[in-house]
Structure 1
Amino acid sequence: MTQDYKRIGTEEAFMTPLVVDLFKKGVEDGSISDPGFVGMYKLLFAPDTVKLPLLLDLEEGRIPEMDAAGIDMHVLAQTAPGLQIFDKDTAVGAMPDVNDYLVDVIARHPTRFAGLASIAPQDPEASAREIERARTKLDLGGVMINSHTHDEWLSDEKFWPILEAAEANDMPIYIHPQTPMTGLKAFTDYGIDLAFYGFAVEVSTHMLTIILSGALDRFPKLKFVLGHLGEGLPYWLYRFDYMQYSTDRPNLKMRPNPVKRELPNISDYIRRNIWITTSGMPAPEPIKFATKQMGEDHILYAMDYPYEMDREEVPMTEEGVPDAQKKKFWEDNARGLFHIDGPVGA
């Protein structure tokens, strides 16, 4: 079969020198004390680590690596935990600089890079304004939110100006994992707080709270994106619907939710409002199952570079995607979701 599509990776991380300096300062002066982040910083972001140069290199090393793997475009997003780990003033002050930096890189390589805006949920109104600027002035195609912000989720209505702006500007919100909330001590006690397990638990729980909060009834056109094949949610669709509260089995079902939902089942919201990517999950059989659960229009490719940079995962992923679906999976779904209108590839 002749390849009639481009390959777009939709969860590809980067950092800016400004954020590296802010991370370093926060760890050294103790203003960032979250134990999960401090551990992640030492592992991934400290000046002598392997990943940091790869996160900072957006041209000389990255583009040849993309070519070698057969990837035509990266949709770039500031790596976790982004600006959300900082105090409000620091985060809001850095927000436009990070997005302007990203746009400058895209301008130098418009066929190789697209991007997601960074925001500071610590100030929902400022973030809402930045979402509008990112779409209308910077031509960015979505928003990256690294799950909780100081142990708070988007299900809290104080963050809903962000959701309102994202819906109004058709900016999908990619919820990327970070370390679980500090109260979940068992995750760090047993070393399962990062990508091994804790990331998926934190994000999937976050997404369920958004659904159950009524946010997707208030903002029915809002789009969310979850990586790692949906952080486990597609596997649970039947269980969610079956275990919804009912009067005949109240001891086994959900407790009554005070928020009235418009759609009958939790799975209806997941299938309507959520798109999933394959970041870090290239195994063919899970891809087939997730596609069956979510529909072929709601699944798209991601590598999760540079945390995952195995060139063999591209042909492995191909095995999970039928030929008739490949163009949607690799290119068209990403184009439509993230507003990628121009040429893609070298």
Structure 2
Amino acid sequence: MTDQGYLRIATEEAFAPPELITRWRSMLADGSSGDPGFDSLWGFYMGDSPRARQIVERLEDLGERRIADMDATGIDRQIIALTSPGTQIFDAAEGTAIAAAANDVLADACRRHPDRFTGLTAIAPQDPERAAEEIERGVNRLGFRGVIINSHTRGEYLDDKKFWPVLEAAEALDTPIYLHPNTPSPRMIEPMLEAGLDGAVFGFAVETGLHLLRMITSGVFDRFPRLRVVVGHLGEALPFWSYRIDFMHTASLRSGRFPHLSALELAPGEYLRRNIWVTTSGMAWEPAILFTRQVLGDDRVLYAMDYPYQSAPTEVSVHDRLPIDAAALRALYQTNAEKVFGLPPSS
């Protein structure tokens, strides 16, 4: 327990085993990805700039360097997941094999540092049945506390029924899915790429917000009412659009403009408050944090750092100074994460 009276649990922290980094390098070298977003993002991070080198070195480390960074920024525990795009850029067989290998690496690190690291299960949604099996292995054999899905899989989204075995497994095992950003798919990315807006500056939020909204409006959460989804960056802007989404979704149903759009059991915004939790990753901004807590509820917002992409003590200080009482701050940093990810409660 830190001197503040709460643990700082950071809930969107990334890693990548060296073997995955090597495989991505080979894809960039031979031009085989077929994904301009991947080529843009990882073409930079595989470069030789100081920032790129530091990010890759920290992604690969699951030991003393990571813990030293945590200590330097006041982080007590990381919820660690395979960084984007993870396995989802490969074919089904390779993606499945890489997911299992990465999970073994992360599980070993969590066993070595049980008080500092908690893992999320990486899967390859390209093979939904095998992915469901890996979720079960992650929960029951590796001790993981959630599932990481790096948004779209080769331009396909989880509202497609072919992916429903993944959602069924997550709901049945009562393990949350962390829906993490990916670069926009080839169908979406061109105007963003032209303007340099394809990554974290804008494209990530647009792509992941679209993904989550597709899940809501397609009825995924009516079919899987106990499914829990965590998204970063204060909900990828959806809480800020909630009123307009509800209003226009009702208007669209009434008009019959989209024959494939079906009525839902709840308004879209109600699913945000029932099935969705959000983290503050990359959004250390007091007005936005307070607004999101007001819209979704105090128990729906969790702290995250977004290590190693954003790792600054000043961003921790922003959260420490929020104008909320001690109990609310403890919930933001610690107890909300313990409840969502099923962590043993700390005193």
Identify whether the pair has TM-score above 0.5, normalized to the shorter chain: yes
TM-score, normalised to structure 2's length? 0.94
Q: Which piece of structure 1 moves more, 101-110 or 333-342?
A: 333-342
Identity %: 45
Alpha-carbon contact 1:285-1:320 (below 8 Å) kept: no
Q: Note closer, same or farther for the CA distance 1:295–1:53 as it changes in structure 2 (3 Å cut).
A: same
Alpha-carbon contact 1:111-1:343 (below 8 Å) kept: no
Q: Note closer, same or farther for the CA distance 1:241–1:111 as it changes in structure 2 (3 Å cut).
A: same
- State the shift of 1:258 in Å: 3.9
Q: Note closer, same or farther for the CA distance 1:239–1:18 as it changes in structure 2 (3 Å cut).
A: same
The count of aligned residue pairs is 341
| Cα distance per residue 1:11-68 (max 9 Å; x no partner) | 0011101211211222223321311101111212457732100111122211111111
Runs of 4+ displaced beyond 4 Å: none
| Cα distance per residue 1:54-90 (max 9 Å; x no partner) | 1111222111111111110010011100000111111
Residue in structure 2 matched with residue 20 of structure 1 by the alignment:
21
Residue in structure 1 matched with residue 158 of structure 2 by the alignment:
154
SS in 2 for 1:171: coil
Residue in structure 2 matched with residue 79 of structure 1 by the alignment:
83
Residue in structure 2 matched with residue 196 of structure 1 by the alignment:
201
| Cα distance per residue 1:265-322 (max 9 Å; x no partner) | 1111111010000001011111000000010111000000110011111111223351
SS in 2 for 1:276: strand
TM-score, normalised to structure 1's length? 0.94
Structure 1 gaps, min length 5: none
Opposite residue 131 of structure 2, the aligned amino acid is S
Q: Note closer, same or farther for the CA distance 1:80–1:114 as it changes in structure 2 (3 Å cut).
A: same
Q: Note closer, same or farther for the CA distance 1:135–1:229 as it changes in structure 2 (3 Å cut).
A: same
Equivalent position to 2:102, from 92, 98, 101: 98
Residue in structure 2 matched with residue 293 of structure 1 by the alignment:
295
How far apart, in 2, do the equivalents of 1:223 and 1:132 lie?
Answer: 16
Q: Does 1:337 align with 2:337?
A: no
Alpha-carbon contact 1:128-1:161 (below 8 Å) kept: yes
How far apart, in 1, do the equivalents of 2:119 and 2:170 lie?
Answer: 15
| Cα distance per residue 1:184-209 (max 9 Å; x no partner) | 21011111000000100000010010
Residue in structure 2 matched with residue 206 of structure 1 by the alignment:
211
SS in 2 for 1:144: strand
Residue in structure 2 matched with residue 169 of structure 1 by the alignment:
173
Residue in structure 2 matched with residue 38 of structure 1 by the alignment:
39
Equivalent position to 1:130, from 105, 130, 134: 134
How far apart, in 2, do the equivalents of 1:142 and 1:189 lie?
Answer: 35
Residue in structure 2 matched with residue 218 of structure 1 by the alignment:
223
Residue in structure 2 matched with residue 268 of structure 1 by the alignment:
270
Alignment of 1:178-327 (within 5 A): 178-184=182-188, 185-246=190-251, 250=255, 255=258, 257-263=260-266, 265-320=267-322, 322-323=324-325, 324-327=327-330
Q: Note closer, same or farther for the CA distance 1:89–1:267 as it changes in structure 2 (3 Å cut).
A: same
Instruction: Report the RMSD for the aligned CA atoms in angstroms.
Output: 2.0
Structure 2 gaps, min length 5: none
